[in-house]
Amino acid sequence: MSRRSACVLLFPVVFHYNVLTGVMVVTLRVRREQLERIIAQARAEAPNECCGMLAGHGEVVEEVFPGRNKDQSPRTYLMDPQDQLHAFRAIDEHGWALVGIYHSHPHTEAYPSRTDRERALDMDGNPLFPETQYVIVSLRDAQPQVRAFRITERQVTEEEVVIA
Ligand SMILES: [Zn+2]
């Protein structure tokens, strides 16, 4: 087993307390191997941000679709349209939904930046993907952090991440 995998395996099951409801609810289920792929991609593309899409049913991630970051930037991401198309086609073929959109923060915490929040909304301020979670992988600390959010015009709501 590589050192990288061993590090990832130290991940605990992560719950985030929902301050609005006071209830801990499972809202994103991602398998450890899927998470390892995302973290490996984030590390490979650092110092730039990496990005991709998570397909599945409801809260369950069935497949990870890595994408190229057209921005090639350490601060923003824009998933290559061809990679998006490829993912959306596979999602249609399998009858999946777009469960999540992920990207990395090589140097900052796993929280949506101002650009992340702006790009999650259309010109009228409505969420582009209302049912989709925004998953952020932070490489700031020795142990990567993974957090999930819903982004609307008025607020950023943290979702719970469970590693199955
Ligand atoms: Zn970001």
Q: What confidence tens digit (pLDDT) does each residue in 81-109 have? A: 999 999 999 999 999 999 999 999 999 99
Give 1 Cα–ligand 1 centroid separation in angstroms: 30
Give 75 Cα–ligand 1 centroid separation in angstroms: 7
Lateral strand order in the sheet of 60-67: 156-159, 145-151, 133-138, 97-105, 51-57, 60-67, 28-30, 161-163
To which H or E segment does residue 52 belong?
Answer: strand 51-57
Write down the pLDDT at residue 62: 96
62 located within any domain: yes
Give 106 Cα–ligand 1 centroid separation in angstroms: 9
Write down the pLDDT at residue 153: 83
Give 76 Cα–ligand 1 centroid separation in angstroms: 6
Ligand 1 ion local residues (Cβ < 5 A): 113, 116
Write down the pLDDT at residue 17: 46
Give 113 Cα–ligand 1 centroid separation in angstroms: 5
Bridge partners of residue 159, in order along the sequence: 148
Domain that holds residue 135: 3-157
Q: Which of the four pLDDT bands, split at 50, 70 and 90, describes residue 24? A: very low
Task: Name the pTM for this structure.
Answer: 0.84
75 located within any domain: yes
Number of domains present in the structure of the chain: 1
Give 107 Cα–ligand 1 centroid separation in angstroms: 10
21 located within any domain: yes
| Residue 70 identity | K
Give 3 Cα–ligand 1 centroid separation in angstroms: 27
Which CATH number fits the domain that encloses residue 80?
3.40.140.10
Question: Nearest 10 degrees: CA dihedral of 67, 71, 76, 80?
Answer: -30
Compute CA distances 36 → 14, 97, 126, 160, whole Å.
15, 21, 32, 18
Give 101 Cα–ligand 1 centroid separation in angstroms: 11
Give 117 Cα–ligand 1 centroid separation in angstroms: 8
Q: What confidence tens digit (pLDDT) does each residue in 2-17 have? A: 333 333 333 333 444 4
110 located within any domain: yes
Convert 5-22 into a string of H (helix), E (strand) and C (coil). Answer: HHHHCCCCCCCCCCCCCC
Give 80 Cα–ligand 1 centroid separation in angstroms: 16
Give 146 Cα–ligand 1 centroid separation in angstroms: 12
Write down the pLDDT at residue 20: 53
Q: What confidence tens digit (pLDDT) does each residue in 117-144 have? A: 999 999 999 999 988 999 999 999 999 9
Write down the pLDDT at residue 6: 31
164 located within any domain: no
Q: What confidence tens digit (pLDDT) does each residue in 34-77 have? A: 999 999 999 999 999 999 999 999 889 999 999 999 999 999 99
CA distance 134 to 12: 20
